[in-house]
Amino acid sequence: MLEVGIGEGDLLAVALEMGYQPDAVEIVPSIAHRVSDILGIPIWCGDFLHYAPDKTYSIITMGDVIEHVTDPEKALRNAYGLLRDDGVLWLSTPNFESSFSRIKKFYDPMWTEPYHISYFNRVGIEALAAKCGFTLREYCVSQRYNGSMELILTKCRH
């Protein structure tokens, strides 16, 4: 399992509890060091666009990450290359055409987030995922964050 963007380390802690030996990538050094110290696991500190281990993963999570990277296509292509043929990529990101965003308009906190580089809607993120070789297995509206979407992606079978 690989988590890209570790937040507070909650998912890593659950992965450890469930018996996984997760790897993690975090671009913010203070977050990487703090969570690494708390959980007692190494966390690769750097840009996921440059993450290239000598292994593949059955599960990759990218929770609210893709909107922050400088090259979303390169990030998805990197995830594709790191994913086993039968693996799953879970991705979440704000949806600028969500019902929440439509109602709130520019009062939606997504629009004031200073570190969002790219904005996605359902059609756009699905097209980008397909361009990078993924098949959409499931799409849902996030139950955790208003105005966000969650996708479960697998590698296309040719």
- Model confidence over 69-92: pLDDT tens digits? 999 999 999 999 999 999 999 999
- What average pLDDT does the segment 45-70 reach? 96
pTM of the model: 0.91
Alpha carbon 128 to chain centroid, angstroms: 14
Closest CA to 26 of 14, 16, 39, 18: 39
- What average pLDDT does the segment 80-108 reach? 83
Assess whether pLDDT exceeds 70 at residue 108.
no
Q: At what angle do helices 10-17 and 29-39 cross, to 10 degrees?
A: 30
Assess whether pLDDT exceeds 70 at residue 102.
no
Q: DSSP state, 111?
A: G
Assess whether pLDDT exceeds 80 at residue 138.
yes
Place of tokens 């879970």: 90
Which residues in the chain belong to E strands, given as ranges? 2-4, 23-26, 44-45, 57-63, 83-94, 134-141, 148-155
Please answer whether residues 122 and 97 qualify as being in contact, where contact means their C-beta atoms are separated by less than 8 angstroms.
yes
pLDDT (0 to 100) of residue 100? 64
Please answer whether residues 151 and 79 qualify as being in contact, where contact means their C-beta atoms are separated by less than 8 angstroms.
no
